[in-house]
Amino acid sequence: MTTPVALTIAGSDSSGGAGIQADLKTFAALGVYGASAITALTAQNTRGVTGIHAVPAEFVTAQVDAVFSDLDVGAVKIGMVAQALSIDAIAAALARWSPRYVVLDPVMVATSGDRLLASEAVEALRTKLIPLASVLTPNLPEAAALLDEPVASSEADIEGQGRRLLALGCRSVLIKGGHSEGAESTDYLVDSDKTIALAAPRVATKNTHGTGCSLSSAVAAGLAKGEGLEDAVRNAKTWISAAIAAADRFSVGHGHGPIHHFHRFY
């Protein structure tokens, strides 16, 4: 039996709720073996980020090469990349190893509002990583920032931004609607042929730390298991909704607490 494997390339969250830690928890919860390449160490908790230490780009390369040279990676998730040099290193490594699926979560700002990507690196993200992505997973503010546009407020505006993001070279875009208003949180999956709206009831909780990281990791997990993109996205949305709904079972920290990755088990 082949073990599905996914690799996350992202930053570490010392409080365990987002980043590499959230990605590995997501992979494990969904039956996928997780490997990791760490791009940055962050000193953070549920209230905010107090420090960022970027990993040298050549060591990011060394981690990615070590994983690919030995493990049969079914999908790659990219989260916090921190700096332009790391983006160059990741793009070169992906070109070298040609993974079948790349899920790119363009992490720029933490749930707490702290900036996680140097402003001068945004253009490198646009031009070097987005064209390699099977699916790009921005939230509404990230989609707007990537396009230098206002945050979309209507379904038509969201779909339009999705189409303009496709023009940057990715194969599909999943725009996450968690930052919108209303009784439902609707995500939009946009590809060259169609737009699919995926709605779920909005959960009233402040414990949403790591939601974006975990959703993109859940999509990568589905792709690593052989699911088609639409099924992987639908299954990820169902899982993340349940993880948010179960978040208040935890009492962790004094700010935006984590979601419950293992809600199915305890």
Rounded Cα–Cα distance for residues 266 and 264 (Å): 6
Q: Are 255 and 110 in contact (CB under 8 A)?
A: no
Active site residue 225: no
Catalytic residue among 128, 208, 222, 257: 208
Residues 6+ apart with CB under 8 A from 92: 61
Catalytic residue among 46, 211, 237, 257: 211
10 Å CB burial of residue 218 (0-12, 13-18, 19+) is buried
Residue 40 in tokens: 């940055």
Catalytic residue among 212, 222, 237, 257: 212
Catalytic residue among 213, 222, 237, 257: 213
Describe the crossing of helices 140-147 and 155-166 by its angle, rounded to 10 degrees. Answer: 50
Rounded Cα–Cα distance for residues 224 and 101 (Å): 8
The 8-class DSSP code of residue 5 comes to E
10 Å CB burial of residue 124 (0-12, 13-18, 19+) is buried
- Residue 50 carries which side chain, given as an amino acid letter? T
Catalytic residue among 176, 186, 237, 257: 176
Residue 75 in tokens: 């999908």
Active site residue 160: no
Active site residue 2: no
Active site residue 170: no
Active-site residues, by number, are 176, 208, 210-213
